Amino acid sequence: MARIAVIGSGAVGGYYGGRLALAGHDVRFLVRSELDAWRARGLRVFSVAGDFCLDPVQCFARPEEIGEVDWVVCALKATAIGEARELIAPCVGPGTRILALMNGLGNEPLLAEWFGGERVFGGMAFVCINRGEPGVIHHLAYGRVSIGHFQDDARQTAELAGLLGSGGIEVVVAPNLLYARWEKLCWNIPFNGLSVAAGGVGTRSILDDPELRATAERAMREVVAAGNADLAAHGNEARLDEDDVVARMFAQTDVMGDYRTSMVIDYVLGRPLEVEAILGNPVRRARELGVSTPTMATLYALVRQADLVRRGVRQSLTAEDVAAPQSVV
C-alpha cells in the first residue's frame, strides 16, 4: 500500500484521497481551515457511487507533520499555486512522485521546475462535486480522472493508473498530458467562464438559453483550435476532434442538472477565481500561436473584471453613483 499526502483537502482532494484511504492506502490529508471539524467528526462523503466516512481520519495542520510519502496529490486551487512549493516540499523524498489534480494550464511546468519533471504528473478530474459543511463532501456525478506524465513516460503513467484504479477511481490514460489539459479546458473555459460572466448562474441556465449555449459552443470550438495548435507546436501527433468534443461535452453537461461550477461558487462566496489558470493562460497561449479566440478572450476579460470587482479590488457603480450628477467633457 502507498503512503499518500493530499495537499489541498477541498472537495476534489478530499473525495479522491478518501477513495484511496478507503482502499487501504496510508492517506494523510493537509487540512487547514476545517481541521477541527475533521478531527471531531472525520471526513464524510455523500456519493452517487456509495457514501462513506473516514473516522478517524489522518489530518494534519502542517506538511512537516505528514513527512515523506510515496505520492503527493496536489489538489490546491490554481490560485494557490504560489504556496504549492513550500507545502509539498516537506513531503518529498528521493522516490516521491507528484500528481497535480488541479484546474487550468501551467501548473505542471512549475512543479517540474521545482521538483523535477520526471516525478510530475497531471490529473484532470471530470466530476460534479461540492463541499458541504466542514468535513462533508457531496459527490453528485461522474468521477473519472484523465492522467498523463509531464515527460510522457508511459510506464510511470501506468503506475499512477494502477494506484488510482485501486481506489475504484475510473482512469483514462490520455494520449499525452498536454492533450488532457486542453480537453479539460474544453469544458472549463465555456462553463466556468459563462457561469460568472452571465452574472452567477448554474449550467442549466447556460444550456437553456440559446444565446448562452451558442456562446459556450463557440468558446469550446476555439479551445479545440488552440489546443490542437499547441499540440502541433510541441510535436505531438494527437488531436482533439472538434465535433466529437462539442457533442460529448454538451451531452455530459445536459444530464448534470443545474450544476454549480467551482468558479461560480468561488465568485458567489467572494473568493479569488482561478481566472488566470483556466482562462488567462490558454488565451495567452493561443495568441502566441496565432490562433484567433475572440470568445475565449472576451470571457477572460469579463471574468477577470468580475473577480476584481467582487473581491473589492476594483469598484463597481452604486445606486448613489448613478443618482449623483455628472459632468460631460
Peptide bond into 56 cis (omega under 30): yes
Ordered by start, the domain boundaries in the chain are 3-174, 179-310
pLDDT at position 322 is: 76
Is the separation of the CB atoms in 303 and 283 below 8 Å? no
Active site residues: 184
Nearest alpha-carbon partner for 274 in 206, 185, 213, 203: 185
pTM: 0.92
Beta-bridge partners for 73: 6, 99
Same fold yes or no, 3-174 and 179-310:
no
Count of Cβ atoms closer than 10 Å to residue 109 Cβ: 12
**pLDDT digit string, tens, across residues 96-137:** 999 999 999 999 999 999 999 999 999 999 999 999 999 999
Dihedral of CA 216/219/223/229: which sign? positive
* Burial group, residue 93, by CB count within 10 angstroms (0-12, 13-18, 19+): exposed
Name the superfamily (CATH) of residues 3-174.
NAD(P)-binding Rossmann-like Domain (3.40.50.720)
| Mean pLDDT confidence for 148-165 | 97
Name the superfamily (CATH) of residues 179-310.
N-(1-d-carboxylethyl)-l-norvaline Dehydrogenase; domain 2 (1.10.1040.10)
**pLDDT digit string, tens, across residues 177-201:** 999 999 999 999 999 999 999 999 9
pLDDT at position 33 is: 87
Coil/strand/helix, residue 269? coil
- Quote the CA–CA distance of 37 and 56 in Å, as a whole number: 11
| Mean pLDDT confidence for 239-249 | 98
